[in-house]
Amino acid sequence: MQEKQQEQFILEEQYVSSSGDKSALPSNLNMLAPVALIGTMLMGSFGGDTSSSRSSSSSSSGSPNKKKSRGRSPSSHSSCSTSSSSSSSNSNTSVNNGSCLPVLASGLLAVVTRGKSVSSTKRLFHNRKVLNNATVLGGKSPAARSALKNVAGTSSSGPATKKESHPVAEAPRQQRKFSTIFKPRFTNVRGSTAQASSAVRQQPSFSAQQLVEALQKPVVTPSSQAEAVAAAPAPASNLLDHLNDQEILQRMRNGELPDHKLEAMLQNLERAVNLRRAFLLEKMGMDSQLLQDLPFQNYQYEKVVGQCCENVIGYVPIPVGVVGPLKLNGQNVFVPMATTEGCLVASTQRGAKAITESGGADASVVADGMTRAPVVQFPSAKKASEAKIWVDNPANYAIVEAAFNSTSRFARLKSLQTVQAGRNLYLRFKSATGDAMGMNMLSKGTEFAITTLQHHFPEMQVLAVSGNMCTDKKPSAINWIEGRGKSVICEATIRADIVKSVLKTSVDAMVNLNINKNLVGSIMAGSIGGFNAHSSNILTAIFLATGQDPAQNVESSNCLTLMEKTAEGDLYVSVTLPSIEVGTVGGGTGLSPQKTNLSLMNVAGHSDVPGEKPRKLAQCISATILAGELSLMAALSAGHLVKSHMALNRGGPKKH
């Protein structure tokens, strides 16, 4: 506590010396120190001292190393125990024990305390003149703190020194080019302050590349609003747990408490949901029994709030069936399906039986990459063409690729397709996304990449981070042709006797129907990606069971089903799915029931090799679709469809 007070005193004295007004002293002054350290490093002072008080000997002597010296003043050297030697322009001053306390110089403090808004703080990081005046001093021991106090007290009254050249100007050309291309956004800098500051304390002598790596480390944030409250609990006066339900409802009626803020103001999330239900019924003027069949109790709302759903009033249980064993790539798998369509699971199970008894299916992922395509606009089509040509140049693509990849550990740009329409330019980014489905990851990387592009084309206007050429949750030829997510092919050969005994039809009937229904019929309908019997049925049921985004069934169920008779008289069947969009982490995959269903297929959570589990999940989906296609086509060719649905899709168990 005594050391904390001493540190605060040092910072206060430094502030007052510059402003002369102690009444305007901010209460969180000591929290600004790490901000100064990061700001100084971003401007190119890597591991060295940017103090305006250089050693008098190094600034006045005729030594040939005069401009290369990075030593501190004698007093600073003795108090902070730093090395006084440096051999080149790239050498950095080392600090013993790695203990540094960042102290803000007068110019920096004046700007920081001028306003507490995000915009004013953001301007601080772009004010080079102020950052040049920032001073980084070190020491956590009482003796060092005392020395720092002396330095702080004399900094404003000391003799004026010659203005130093900008640290970036002294950096190697490669580092200057890098800092020009990659100007970190303020949000990244703010989020990484603690990590970068910690890295400097542990290793004060470091290169520009090490600094960039420290700033690019992903910041671990709470995965839900409830966890955020637990990580940084609000003051007791801001929470409403001490009020009874009627008192809270009265505040909601008065407009003092919006219903969407209930989870943030109550530690009991289930109580928040119950209060919202009561308030909803009251606003609707409905009977309290209206929602009695919509369950809300005993649910993991801490995994829902801030991640899966807002304004929660309950949850909808969906029956989950299982298909299996289904032999896939030499192993038996069991696939969960959540559906309310009777006969779907039973029919798919019949197809799985035919596949397994015939030796199993084989599936391969032939492409893997999620896409995002922003639309940008230029003053003229000519300017848009210039930007397209620039991006298509391999050397310039490398610049965009590096910017994109810097936003995530897993995002790795695979391709960038440009399409021009008038003065609009659409850029389709395709990237690996690890174990996540990856839309948020793509959006983040794309946003930073086009920001980098704006440095080269300032007249470029970003209309939207998504220009509908991605294409997400809509039918499109580009997904069918180019693929999106996981592109999978699954195949199997069903013996003729199995076709007859299990599927109750013949090979010739299956092949003939597939040509006239799935191929010719779909062509006549002008279908895009719909050359199948019902792939969406199976895929959506698996999506619901495993926490995928059900709206992405639009493009994920793109499927081409092919059947042909082999020389041996057996049935060869394959399904080609170019755009299955799945993940095993993030979104609804973290909810316990959905995670359990993923575990049935041994694909829950993170992979040892990033992306391995989502690829296996896509293969399981493709094999299950193959089973569903076989069974439905067999039922149609044999005329059993209506009969089976009447038996399994109407009413309950038969009464005897």
State the average pLDDT over residues 204-233.
Answer: 48
By three-state DSSP, how is residue 63 classified? coil
Mean pLDDT to the nearest integer, 619-637: 97
Residue tagged active-site, from 68, 183, 473, 517:
473
Q: How far apart are CA 415 and CA 104, in angstroms?
A: 44
Question: What is residue 148's predicted lDDT score, i.e. its pLDDT?
Answer: 42
Tens of pLDDT along 471-526? Answer: 999 999 999 999 999 999 999 999 999 999 999 999 999 999 999 999 999 999 99
Q: Give the pLDDT confidence score for residue 157 in this predicted structure.
A: 39
Q: Look at residue 227 in the predicted model and tell me its pLDDT.
A: 53
Residue 2 has pLDDT above 50, yes or no: no
The secondary element (H helix, E strand) that includes residue 382 is helix 381-392
Specify the CATH class of 374-464 in words: alpha beta
Predicted local distance difference test score (pLDDT) of residue 645: 64
For residue 304, pLDDT beyond 90: yes
Q: In the predicted model, what is the mean pLDDT of residues 415-425?
A: 98
Average pLDDT, whole number, for the chain?
A: 76
Q: What is the rounded average pLDDT of the residues 222-235?
A: 48
Bridge partners of residue 571, in order along the sequence: 494, 565
Q: For 494, phi and psi rounded to 5 degrees?
A: -100, 125
Average pLDDT over residues 623-652: 84
Tell me what the mean pLDDT of segment 602-631 comes to.
Answer: 98
Strand 461-464 to strand 375-377: parallel, antiparallel, or no bridges (unpaired)? antiparallel
What pLDDT does residue 238 have? 64
Residue 347 has pLDDT above 80, yes or no: yes
pLDDT, greater one: 498 or 217: 498
Residue 468 confidence class, pLDDT cut points 50, 70, 90: very high
Phi and psi angles of residue 72, each rounded to the nearest 5 degrees, phi first: -85, 175
Architecture field, domain 320-367+485-648:
Alpha-Beta Complex (3.90)
Is position 645 annotated as part of the catalytic site? yes
Query: From CA 214, how far away is CA 387, in angstroms rounded?
Result: 32
State the Cα torsion 383-384-389-393 to the nearest 10°: 110
Name the more confident of 647 and 346: 346
Give yes or no: 341 in active site: yes
For the stretch 192-209, pLDDT in tens is: 434 444 443 444 444 445
pLDDT at res. 641:
72
Give the residue extent of every domain in the chain.
Answer: 2-216, 225-303, 320-367+485-648, 374-464
- Higher-pLDDT residue of 108 and 313 is 313
Average pLDDT score over residue span 95-112: 37
Q: What is the SS3 assignment for 146-159? A: HHHHHHHHHCCCCC
d(C-alpha 309, C-alpha 298), whole Å: 17
CB atoms within 10 A of CB 578: 23
- Mean pLDDT of all residues in 171-189: 38
Catalytic residue, chosen from 341, 362, 491, 612, is 341
Q: What is the pLDDT of residue 49?
A: 42
Q: Given a cut of 70, is residue 567 above it in pLDDT?
A: yes
Q: What is the pTM of this model?
A: 0.66
Which of 59-68, 75-84, 316-325 has the highest mean predicted lDDT (pLDDT)? 316-325
| Residue 521 DSSP code | I
Say which range, 178-192, 232-246, 263-277, 520-534, has the weakest mean pLDDT.
178-192
Work out the burial of residue 206: count CB atoms within 10 Å of its CB; fewer than 13 is exposed, 13-18 middle, 19 or more buried: middle
Please tell me the predicted confidence (pLDDT) of residue 358.
98
DSSP designation for 30: G
Domain spanning 225-303: CATH 1.10.3270.10: yes
Most trustworthy range by pLDDT among 92-106, 231-245, 365-379: 365-379
Q: Are 251 and 257 in contact (CB under 8 A)?
A: yes
Give 12-31 pLDDT, tens digit per residue: 454 444 444 444 444 444 44
| Per-residue pLDDT band at 640 (split at 50, 70, 90) | confident
pLDDT of residue 651: 65
Please give the structure tokens belonging to residue 265: 């103001």
Please pick, among 401, 472, 482, 549, the residue that the annotation labels catalytic: 549
Residue 171: predicted pLDDT: 39
Instruction: Measure the CA angle with vertex 369, ends 365 and 371; round to 5°.
Output: 145
Helix spans in 20-116 (H): 33-42, 56-60, 74-80, 106-112
Q: What Å distances lie between residue 45 and 29, 40, 67, 182, CA to CA?
A: 23, 6, 15, 16
- Please tell me what DSSP assigns to residue 516: I
How far apart CA 172 and CA 178 sit, in angstroms, is 10
User: For 360-407, how does the pLDDT look when each residue is reduced to its tens digit (9 = 90+)?
Assistant: 999 999 999 999 999 999 999 999 999 999 999 999 999 999 999 999
- Name which residue leads in pLDDT, 345 or 112: 345
